[in-house]
Amino acid sequence: MILFDLKCKSDHVFEAWFQDSDAYDKLVAAGAVECPVCNDTDIGKALMAPHVSSDAKKKTNTRARRSAEFVGRQMNVLAEMRQQVEDNCDYVGEKFAEEARKIHYGEADKHNIYGEASDEEAGELKEEGVEFQRIPWPRDHDA
């Protein structure tokens, strides 16, 4: 097993374990490795300091465990946040930008909504001064 520091195009750095270097290459090429923050699959290796001491394995295991615990806590926070949003907001799906504009311009009553918006739609909403927040929900996995 080998631990790599990885980095997505948004400069999020995270760690992941792989069976070997070839396994890393195959998984990244297949788009099977994704950033735990933004779900980007355009991943590369980040700079790493080599471990040379005899305690390197122990340090690596501790570092990996702490990293996994941190990511696990962050995923739990995001799951709780998502549940709060789903319980307290109306889902408008792909019509998020349209509905957000209606609320912003007073064409609809103010109420909390959530849904999907493309990067282009989000940019347009921001330019118009519409208040909203993009949240990188973790993908639901079947496994």
Residues 13 and 27: their CA atoms lie apart, in Å, by 17
pLDDT of residue 58: 63
pLDDT tens by residue, the chain, 143 residues = 788 889 999 889 888 888 888 989 999 999 999 988 888 899 999 876 555 555 555 666 677 777 778 777 888 888 888 899 999 999 999 999 999 999 999 999 999 999 999 999 999 999 999 999 988 877 665 54
Dig out the tokens for 104 from the structure.
Answer: 């912003």
Strand-pairing partners, residue 13, are 7
1 vs 57: CA distance, rounded Å? 11
The partner residues of 114 in beta bridges, in order of sequence, read 91
Q: Is the pTM above the cut of 0.85?
A: no
